Amino acid sequence: MRDIPDFPEEGVVFKDFTPVLLDRRLRDRIVTDTVDRRRGQVDVVAGIEARGFILGSMVAHALGVGFVPVRKGGKLPAAVHSQSYTLEYGTATLEIHQDAVSHHERVLVVDDVLATGGTLAATCELIERCGASVAAIELVLEIEELGGRGRLGGYDLHCLTSV
């Protein structure tokens, strides 16, 4: 990953995931590591817009399960559950189709970076509002100084690396 200073606003150092996507061997190792750890434990994968879509769909394919997009507000066409949350630089809203996951399904949440934990906490709330359970959360990078893990107590959370 590379650091992009002052994005999306001044004072924020954005962790850019796109170089990982360009490295086929590294990308494949990340997917394989996740699949090996979660095989047989999940019924569906949820990926968070936008980088979570990329990794999440690859993991879902390798696991042989469905994929559910968790999108920014106003992007999904059918009835949705919405959840607003705070970021380190503002607020946002995430949505999931109300029928995206079924009751009692075990959902693996996949994203690139854990920062303050707001995005992941909102995603977990949405999944549980649908009646499903969060089986685990898989991430590539955790920014420890932002304390996001503290907002996700009780979930099986795995990060490949941290800074």
51 annotated active-site: yes
Helix (H) or strand (E) holding 21: helix 18-22
Helix (H) or strand (E) holding 43: none
Instruction: Respond yes or no on whether the N-terminal peptide bond of residue 50 is cis (omega within 30° of 0).
Output: yes
What is the DSSP secondary-structure string of 50-98? THHHHHHHHHHHHHT-EEEEEEETT--SS-EEEEEEEETTEEEEEEEET
Instruction: Respond yes or no on whether the N-terminal peptide bond of residue 19 is cis (omega within 30° of 0).
Output: no
3-class SS of residue 39: coil
Q: Which of 38, 51, 71, 106 is catalytic?
A: 51
Q: Are 124 and 145 in contact (CB under 8 A)?
A: no
Q: Taking CA 111 as the corner, what is the angle to CA 106 and CA 112, rounded to the nearest 5 degrees? A: 155
Q: Which of 2, 29, 39, 88 is catalytic?
A: 88
Residues labelled as active-site residues: 51, 88
